[in-house]
Amino acid sequence: MPRGSDLHRRQLIVAAAYVFNIVGIASTLYASPLYWKQAYHTSKLSGEEWVKELINGHHNRIWTELRVHVHVFLALVHELWAVCGLRDSHYVGLNEQVAIFLYMCVTGLSIWHVGERFQHSNSGCFRT
């Protein structure tokens, strides 16, 4: 039969092992998203392709989505390019930038919803 000090030592070892095990499990759960990554924006239609589809598709479709007619949209993009000097960024073309702005104005959706519609990360798609 173990003595009091031996029993106390064993209990401390078991308690330390439990704490060590819990810390290991918590660390694994905390770090798991860093190792098992899955793409978030996986739609077949990118934002640029969607805007091209609006421009080249049925004339009422761009009105439904952006509340402008195609000739007004293209004129606005041209004026922003010619007069204001706006250009394509590394991430988003000018047509798509204007479409994102109009889409947000029309729908009132959050940046997170608009990021999903245009298939862009919400952290970096609007950098220039």
Cα 120 from Cα 42, distance rounded (Å)? 10
pTM of the model: 0.65
85-103 pLDDT, tens digit per residue, is 999 998 899 999 999 999 9
10-residue mean pLDDT profile of the chain (128 residues): values are 78 92 88 72 84 94 95 97 93 95 94 88 57
Q: Which helix (H) or strand (E) holds 24?
A: helix 4-35
Q: What angle do CA 106, 109, 113 make, to 5 degrees?
A: 130
- Mean pLDDT rounded to a whole number for the chain: 87
- Phi/psi for 76 (5° steps) reads -65, -45
Q: Domains of the chain: which residue ranges?
A: 1-38, 47-118
CA angle 97–102–104, rounded 5-degree value? 95
